[in-house]
């Protein structure tokens, strides 16, 4: 391990020297220095990864010995938490010293600890707790406590892809003149025509910034995992609002509720219910040759469906003790707080739209930002970039129950 540290220090020195050469290099020399810098950076990252792995192995052995010691002494003292590999990387004095040896006075030589493509739904919770005590406490094996956000997100129901552009441009059929017909022998065939148009869906950025102290990283095990889980989820909550309600502009796309066709009543029934409204919306989608795959409703509105009873006192929908998913006319009802109370969105989510990720959710840690070095702070940036292409607005129907029920009763 000591040999690895020496190798890292040697490479860091070479990196500093290469950065200094950039200051006076001409255009031709810059090309060579760039290749040299990339090669040294790769060596540094490879060795850093190996050192991190070795540190994890050593830490694992030490933790096992501590656990055995506690068991033998039959102590009631709470067992200390095993820090995640990333927490160790940020809080280890040895690793911090290695980072410092790489840094020079040039800001371009800053070292950022980066976690790319974080999936907040799969990140593991590391046991830890927060406390107001000014001393370093023995943490209980409970995890950092907070109220969870929703357990499913809008993107779970929409196909997704990737893009490298700032605008997703899709050719859309604008008009069509269908001359397809049965043609008798010797008679001129019908002529069909169509026109196309390019529709642009801008990429949008969703981001948040946190500032934490190095002392917090030292004193609260599992803090990084907490940030990954908590703010990764917060990012997706804001993404939900954007995917549903964003209004198109030169830098924004239309959300599903904005792009969708409006609900059109075809009932004219004085006894219309919410069940009737939903079935009418499903039919509206079907008439346009799409097949609804989901109905999004607020939990408060789903409750009114669940508790609706007939004149005999029996439930009109499923029994409250039924554990199966809730359906209306064969289409599953999705309970989500992403959509507002009183609203509903019915649609063919698999064929009507697609998400394009320009940059998947990432969490970056920067120790070089503003006065971070003077105050021992670390800046955490959580961000993603994406576009929503609603290819077929007629695949979705959006409305609110108040107006839909009023129309049905008219």
pLDDT in tens, 41-53: 777 777 777 767 7
**Cβ neighbour number for residue 141 with a 10 Å cutoff:** 11
CA distance 351 to 301: 26
* Whether the predicted pLDDT of 67 surpasses 70: no
Flag whether pLDDT at 105 surpasses 70.
no
**Confidence (pLDDT) at 371:** 87
Rounded distance between C-alpha atoms, residue 341 and residue 303, angstroms = 11
Q: What is the pLDDT of residue 161?
A: 95
DSSP string for 155-180: GGGS-EEE-SSSEEEEEEEEEEE---
Write down the residue that tokens 């907040």 correspond to: 120
How does the average pLDDT of the chain come out, rounded?
80
Sign of CA dihedral 85, 90, 96, 99: positive
CB 397 within 8 A of CB 384: no
pLDDT of residue 146: 84
| pLDDT computed for residue 314 by the predictor | 84
Q: Which domains does the chain have, with CATH numbers?
A: 1-110 (no CATH), 113-170+200-410 (3.30.2320.10)
Name the band, by pLDDT with cuts 50, 70 and 90, for residue 106: very low
Beta carbons within 10 angstroms of residue 340's beta carbon: 15
Question: Quick check: 7 pLDDT over 70?
Answer: yes
Per DSSP, what are the bridge partners of residue 207?
A: 383
Check residue 92 and give its pLDDT: 57
Q: State the Cα–Cα distance between residues 313 and 142, nearest whole angstrom.
A: 45
Numbers of helices and strands, H then E, in the chain = 12, 13
Distance CA 410, CA 403 (A): 11
pLDDT over threshold 80, residue 401: yes
pLDDT at 349: 97
Does 185 score more than 50 pLDDT?
Answer: yes
pLDDT above 50 for 303 = yes
Question: What is the end-to-end Cα distance of the chain in Å, rounded?
Answer: 80
Instruction: Give the integer Cα–Cα distance in Å for 405 and 410.
Output: 9
pLDDT at 405 over 80: yes
| Between 84 and 376, residue with greater pLDDT | 376
State how far the Cα of 374 lies from the Cα of 232, in Å rounded to an integer: 28
Does residue 21 register a pLDDT over 50? yes
pLDDT of residue 218: 75
Per-residue model confidence as pLDDT tens digits over 307-366: 888 888 888 777 777 778 899 999 999 999 999 999 999 999 999 999 999 999 998 888
* DSSP 8-class letter at 377: E
| DSSP E strand stretches across 182-323 | 193-202, 204-213, 261-262, 294-297
Mean pLDDT of 269-273: 82
pLDDT at site 239: 97
Report residue 372's pLDDT band, with 50, 70 and 90 as the boundaries: confident
Instruction: Pull the structure tokens for residue 378.
Output: 């670390």
pLDDT of residue 214: 85
Largest interatomic CA distance in the chain: 101
Of 17-21, 54-58, 140-144, 406-410, where does mean pLDDT reach its minimum? 140-144
Identify the pLDDT of residue 133.
42
Q: How confident is the model at residue 61 (pLDDT cuts 50, 70, 90)?
A: low
Task: Region of 175 please: left (phi>0), alpha (psi -120 to 50) or beta.
Answer: beta
Instruction: Inform me whether the pLDDT recorded for 77 exceeds 50.
Output: no
> Per the structure block, which two tokens stand in for 11?
């490479």
């Amino acid at each position: 391990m000591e040999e690895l540290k020496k190798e890292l220090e040697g490479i860091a020195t070479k990196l500093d020297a290469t950065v200094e050469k950039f200051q006076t290099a001409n255009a031709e020399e810059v090309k060579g220095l760039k290749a040299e810098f990339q090669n040294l950076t790769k060596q540094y990252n490879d060795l850093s990864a190996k050192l991190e792995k070795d540190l994890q192995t050593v830490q694992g052995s030490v933790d096992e010995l501590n656990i055995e010691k506690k068991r033998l002494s039959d102590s009631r003292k709470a067992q200390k938490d095993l820090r995640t590999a990333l927490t160790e990387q940020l809080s280890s004095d040895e690793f911090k010293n290695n980072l410092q040896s790489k840094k020079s006075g040039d800001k371009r030589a800053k070292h950022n600890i980066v976690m790319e493509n974080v999936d907040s739904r799969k990140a593991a919770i590391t046991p830890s707790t927060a406390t107001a005590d000014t001393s370093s406490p023995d943490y209980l094996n409970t995890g950092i406590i907070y109220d969870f956000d929703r357990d499913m997100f809008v993107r779970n129901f929409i196909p997704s892809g990737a893009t490298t552009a700032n605008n997703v441009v899709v050719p859309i059929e604008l008009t069509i003149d269908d001359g397809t017909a049965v043609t008798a022998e010797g008679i001129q065939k019908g002529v069909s025509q169509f026109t196309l148009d390019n529709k642009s869906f801008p990429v949008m950025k969703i981001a948040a910034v946190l500032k934490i102290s190095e002392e917090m990283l030292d004193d609260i095990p599992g803090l990084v995992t907490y940030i990954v889980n908590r703010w990764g989820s917060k990012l997706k909550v804001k993404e939900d609002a954007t995917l549903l309600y964003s209004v198109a502009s030169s830098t924004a796309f239309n959300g599903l509720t904005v792009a969708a066709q409006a609900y059109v009543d075809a009932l004219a029934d004085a006894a219309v219910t919410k069940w009737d409204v939903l079935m009418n919306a499903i039919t509206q989608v079907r008439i346009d040759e799409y097949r609804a795959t989901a109905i999004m409703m607020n939990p408060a509105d789903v409750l009114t469906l669940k508790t609706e009873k007939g004149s005999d006192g029996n439930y009109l929908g499923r029994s409250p003790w039924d554990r199966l998913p809730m359906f209306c006319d064969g289409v599953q009802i999705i309970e989500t707080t992403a959509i507002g109370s009183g609203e509903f969105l019915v649609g063919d989510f698999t064929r009507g739209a697609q998400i394009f990720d320009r940059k998947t959710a990432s969490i970056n840690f920067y120790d070089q930002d503003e006065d971070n070095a003077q105050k021992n702070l670390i800046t955490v940036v959580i961000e993603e970039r994406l576009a929503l292409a609603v290819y077929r607005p007629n695949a979705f129907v959006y409305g609110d129950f108040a107006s839909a029920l009023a129309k049905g009763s008219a």
